[in-house]
Amino acid sequence: MVHAADHLSAQELETLSTQAIAAKDTAYCPYSKFRVGACILTESGEFVQGANVENASYPVGTCAERVAFGNAIVSYQLYTSLPPR
Protein backbone atom coordinates (compact mmCIF):
# COMPACT_ATOMS: atom_id res chain seq x y z
CA MET A 1 0.00 0.00 0.00
CA VAL A 2 1.33 3.44 -0.90
CA HIS A 3 1.06 6.08 1.79
CA ALA A 4 1.54 9.83 1.65
CA ALA A 5 5.16 10.84 2.04
CA ASP A 6 4.37 13.13 4.98
CA HIS A 7 5.23 10.38 7.48
CA LEU A 8 8.77 9.98 6.15
CA SER A 9 11.79 11.51 7.82
CA ALA A 10 13.96 14.02 6.00
CA GLN A 11 16.67 11.35 5.81
CA GLU A 12 14.30 8.81 4.22
CA LEU A 13 13.16 11.37 1.65
CA GLU A 14 16.77 12.24 0.87
CA THR A 15 17.69 8.55 0.49
CA LEU A 16 14.70 7.89 -1.79
CA SER A 17 15.69 10.82 -3.98
CA THR A 18 19.40 9.98 -4.03
CA GLN A 19 18.81 6.32 -4.86
CA ALA A 20 16.25 7.16 -7.57
CA ILE A 21 18.80 9.45 -9.22
CA ALA A 22 21.52 6.78 -8.89
CA ALA A 23 19.21 4.16 -10.44
CA LYS A 24 19.16 6.17 -13.67
CA ASP A 25 22.65 4.82 -14.37
CA THR A 26 21.19 1.33 -14.84
CA ALA A 27 18.50 2.39 -17.33
CA TYR A 28 18.38 0.66 -20.70
CA CYS A 29 17.30 3.38 -23.11
CA PRO A 30 19.18 3.04 -26.41
CA TYR A 31 16.43 4.74 -28.41
CA SER A 32 15.36 7.81 -26.43
CA LYS A 33 18.55 8.15 -24.37
CA PHE A 34 16.20 9.38 -21.60
CA ARG A 35 17.24 7.74 -18.34
CA VAL A 36 14.69 7.44 -15.52
CA GLY A 37 15.25 6.06 -12.04
CA ALA A 38 12.87 5.26 -9.20
CA CYS A 39 13.18 4.13 -5.62
CA ILE A 40 10.62 2.79 -3.17
CA LEU A 41 10.81 2.20 0.57
CA THR A 42 9.62 -1.21 1.75
CA GLU A 43 7.81 -1.99 4.98
CA SER A 44 11.00 -3.61 6.27
CA GLY A 45 12.97 -0.39 5.71
CA GLU A 46 14.78 -1.50 2.55
CA PHE A 47 15.19 0.86 -0.40
CA VAL A 48 14.48 -0.82 -3.75
CA GLN A 49 15.52 0.77 -7.04
CA GLY A 50 14.27 0.52 -10.59
CA ALA A 51 15.14 2.07 -13.95
CA ASN A 52 13.34 2.36 -17.26
CA VAL A 53 13.82 -0.38 -19.86
CA GLU A 54 13.08 0.41 -23.49
CA ASN A 55 12.10 -1.99 -26.23
CA ALA A 56 12.46 -1.61 -29.99
CA SER A 57 8.68 -1.74 -30.09
CA TYR A 58 8.33 1.66 -28.40
CA PRO A 59 5.15 1.27 -26.32
CA VAL A 60 6.36 -2.04 -24.87
CA GLY A 61 9.05 -0.47 -22.67
CA THR A 62 8.79 -0.56 -18.89
CA CYS A 63 8.88 2.55 -16.71
CA ALA A 64 11.25 2.87 -13.76
CA GLU A 65 8.44 2.76 -11.21
CA ARG A 66 7.14 -0.57 -12.52
CA VAL A 67 10.65 -2.01 -12.45
CA ALA A 68 11.07 -0.88 -8.82
CA PHE A 69 7.75 -2.47 -7.84
CA GLY A 70 8.72 -5.66 -9.68
CA ASN A 71 12.08 -5.76 -7.91
CA ALA A 72 10.33 -5.35 -4.56
CA ILE A 73 7.77 -8.05 -5.34
CA VAL A 74 10.29 -10.65 -6.52
CA SER A 75 12.35 -10.07 -3.36
CA TYR A 76 9.20 -10.53 -1.23
CA GLN A 77 9.20 -6.91 -0.03
CA LEU A 78 6.02 -4.94 0.59
CA TYR A 79 6.46 -1.29 -0.28
CA THR A 80 5.31 1.53 1.92
CA SER A 81 6.37 4.78 0.26
CA LEU A 82 7.42 6.50 -2.91
CA PRO A 83 9.16 9.85 -3.04
CA PRO A 84 6.83 12.78 -3.71
CA ARG A 85 6.74 14.07 -7.28
**Residues involved in catalysis:** 65
Beta bridge partner(s), residue 81:
41
Distances from the Cα of 53 to the Cα of 48, 49, 66, angstroms: 16, 13, 10
CB 64 within 8 A of CB 16: no
